Amino acid sequence: MPKSKPQPDSRIAVNKKARHDYFIVEQLEAGLVLEGWEVKSLREKSIQLKESYVLIRDMQAWLLGAHIAPLITTSTHKAADPTRTRKLLLHKDEIAKLVGAVERKGYTIIPLSMYWKKGVVKLGIAVAKGKHKQDRRASIKERDWKRDQQRLMKNAK
Protein backbone atom coordinates (compact mmCIF):
# COMPACT_ATOMS: atom_id res chain seq x y z
CA MET A 1 0.00 0.00 0.00
CA PRO A 2 1.57 3.37 -0.97
CA LYS A 3 2.16 5.86 1.78
CA SER A 4 0.12 9.03 1.56
CA LYS A 5 1.90 12.35 1.69
CA PRO A 6 1.41 14.29 4.91
CA GLN A 7 -1.04 17.13 4.37
CA PRO A 8 0.36 20.58 5.11
CA ASP A 9 -1.53 22.65 7.65
CA SER A 10 -4.22 24.33 5.57
CA ARG A 11 -5.30 26.70 8.34
CA ILE A 12 -4.14 30.27 7.89
CA ALA A 13 -5.83 31.87 10.90
CA VAL A 14 -8.43 30.99 13.52
CA ASN A 15 -10.59 33.44 15.44
CA LYS A 16 -10.32 31.84 18.89
CA LYS A 17 -12.22 34.67 20.54
CA ALA A 18 -15.33 34.03 18.40
CA ARG A 19 -16.45 30.86 20.19
CA HIS A 20 -15.79 32.52 23.54
CA ASP A 21 -17.86 35.64 22.80
CA TYR A 22 -20.66 34.18 20.65
CA PHE A 23 -23.08 31.25 20.39
CA ILE A 24 -22.54 29.80 16.89
CA VAL A 25 -25.89 29.20 15.17
CA GLU A 26 -24.90 28.34 11.60
CA GLN A 27 -21.64 28.06 9.64
CA LEU A 28 -20.88 28.81 5.99
CA GLU A 29 -17.84 28.86 3.72
CA ALA A 30 -17.06 31.89 1.56
CA GLY A 31 -14.41 32.79 -0.98
CA LEU A 32 -12.48 36.07 -0.84
CA VAL A 33 -11.48 38.66 -3.40
CA LEU A 34 -7.81 39.37 -2.63
CA GLU A 35 -4.92 41.26 -4.15
CA GLY A 36 -1.59 39.62 -4.95
CA TRP A 37 0.31 41.01 -1.97
CA GLU A 38 -2.47 39.77 0.34
CA VAL A 39 -2.11 36.21 -0.91
CA LYS A 40 1.64 36.36 -0.33
CA SER A 41 1.02 37.62 3.21
CA LEU A 42 -1.51 34.85 3.82
CA ARG A 43 1.09 32.27 2.83
CA GLU A 44 3.22 33.72 5.65
CA LYS A 45 0.14 33.54 7.94
CA SER A 46 0.30 37.23 8.80
CA ILE A 47 -3.41 37.90 9.33
CA GLN A 48 -5.54 38.79 12.33
CA LEU A 49 -9.29 38.03 12.42
CA LYS A 50 -9.85 38.97 16.05
CA GLU A 51 -11.78 42.24 15.60
CA SER A 52 -13.27 41.51 12.18
CA TYR A 53 -16.89 41.04 11.16
CA VAL A 54 -19.01 40.56 8.05
CA LEU A 55 -21.38 43.23 6.77
CA ILE A 56 -24.02 42.80 4.07
CA ARG A 57 -24.58 45.83 1.85
CA ASP A 58 -26.57 45.86 -1.43
CA MET A 59 -26.91 42.04 -1.37
CA GLN A 60 -23.11 41.64 -1.23
CA ALA A 61 -21.07 40.41 1.73
CA TRP A 62 -17.98 42.32 2.87
CA LEU A 63 -15.26 41.45 5.40
CA LEU A 64 -14.37 44.42 7.59
CA GLY A 65 -11.66 44.79 10.21
CA ALA A 66 -9.42 41.90 9.14
CA HIS A 67 -5.78 42.95 9.29
CA ILE A 68 -3.44 41.44 6.70
CA ALA A 69 0.07 42.70 7.35
CA PRO A 70 1.91 43.64 4.14
CA LEU A 71 5.25 41.98 3.54
CA ILE A 72 8.40 44.02 3.07
CA THR A 73 9.19 42.20 -0.16
CA THR A 74 5.89 43.00 -1.90
CA SER A 75 5.61 45.53 -4.68
CA THR A 76 6.51 49.12 -3.94
CA HIS A 77 4.49 50.80 -6.68
CA LYS A 78 1.19 50.20 -4.91
CA ALA A 79 0.38 51.27 -1.35
CA ALA A 80 -0.90 48.34 0.70
CA ASP A 81 -3.91 48.97 2.94
CA PRO A 82 -3.84 46.24 5.64
CA THR A 83 -7.42 46.79 6.84
CA ARG A 84 -9.22 47.38 3.55
CA THR A 85 -12.74 46.06 3.03
CA ARG A 86 -12.67 42.73 1.19
CA LYS A 87 -15.54 41.26 -0.80
CA LEU A 88 -16.80 37.78 0.08
CA LEU A 89 -17.90 35.41 -2.65
CA LEU A 90 -21.22 33.78 -1.78
CA HIS A 91 -24.23 32.51 -3.73
CA LYS A 92 -27.39 34.66 -3.77
CA ASP A 93 -29.36 32.14 -1.70
CA GLU A 94 -26.59 32.07 0.94
CA ILE A 95 -26.61 35.88 1.13
CA ALA A 96 -30.41 35.87 1.41
CA LYS A 97 -30.15 33.39 4.29
CA LEU A 98 -27.59 35.61 6.02
CA VAL A 99 -29.75 38.72 5.56
CA GLY A 100 -32.69 36.90 7.15
CA ALA A 101 -30.55 35.86 10.11
CA VAL A 102 -29.05 39.31 10.67
CA GLU A 103 -32.43 41.00 10.65
CA ARG A 104 -33.42 38.91 13.68
CA LYS A 105 -32.57 40.61 16.95
CA GLY A 106 -29.05 40.08 18.27
CA TYR A 107 -27.57 38.04 15.41
CA THR A 108 -24.34 38.96 13.65
CA ILE A 109 -21.99 37.40 11.11
CA ILE A 110 -18.43 36.74 12.24
CA PRO A 111 -15.42 35.06 10.63
CA LEU A 112 -14.31 31.87 12.36
CA SER A 113 -11.28 30.79 10.37
CA MET A 114 -9.35 31.27 7.16
CA TYR A 115 -7.82 28.32 5.33
CA TRP A 116 -6.57 26.97 2.01
CA LYS A 117 -8.84 24.67 0.02
CA LYS A 118 -7.52 23.32 -3.28
CA GLY A 119 -5.14 26.28 -3.57
CA VAL A 120 -7.85 28.88 -2.94
CA VAL A 121 -8.34 30.95 0.20
CA LYS A 122 -11.63 30.27 1.99
CA LEU A 123 -13.18 32.03 4.96
CA GLY A 124 -15.36 30.14 7.42
CA ILE A 125 -18.10 32.48 8.60
CA ALA A 126 -20.86 31.96 11.15
CA VAL A 127 -24.20 33.43 12.10
CA ALA A 128 -23.83 34.02 15.81
CA LYS A 129 -25.53 35.53 18.82
CA GLY A 130 -23.51 37.40 21.43
CA LYS A 131 -22.97 35.87 24.86
CA HIS A 132 -23.56 37.70 28.09
CA LYS A 133 -21.05 37.61 30.94
CA GLN A 134 -22.88 34.85 32.80
CA ASP A 135 -23.02 32.75 29.60
CA ARG A 136 -19.24 33.03 29.24
CA ARG A 137 -18.77 31.93 32.84
CA ALA A 138 -21.04 28.93 32.28
CA SER A 139 -19.08 27.97 29.15
CA ILE A 140 -15.80 28.13 31.07
CA LYS A 141 -17.22 25.98 33.90
CA GLU A 142 -18.53 23.42 31.39
CA ARG A 143 -15.18 23.29 29.57
CA ASP A 144 -13.30 22.81 32.86
CA TRP A 145 -15.69 20.06 33.95
CA LYS A 146 -15.24 18.22 30.64
CA ARG A 147 -11.48 18.48 31.02
CA ASP A 148 -11.70 17.07 34.57
CA GLN A 149 -13.92 14.24 33.33
CA GLN A 150 -11.36 13.31 30.67
CA ARG A 151 -8.61 13.41 33.27
CA LEU A 152 -10.59 11.17 35.65
CA MET A 153 -11.41 8.70 32.87
CA LYS A 154 -7.75 8.57 31.84
CA ASN A 155 -6.60 7.90 35.42
CA ALA A 156 -9.30 5.23 35.93
CA LYS A 157 -7.94 3.05 33.12
- 77-89 confidence digits (pLDDT tens): 677 888 889 999 9
Q: What is the pLDDT of residues 120-143, one digit of tens each?
A: 999 999 999 888 777 778 888 888
What's the 3-state SS for 45-84? CCEECCCCEEEEECCEEEEECCEECCCCCCCCCCCCCCCC
What is the spatial distance between Cα 14 and Cα 4, in angstroms, rounded to a whole number?
Answer: 26
What is the spatial distance between Cα 80 and Cα 157, in angstroms, rounded to a whole number?
Answer: 56
Better-predicted residue by pLDDT, 153 or 86: 86
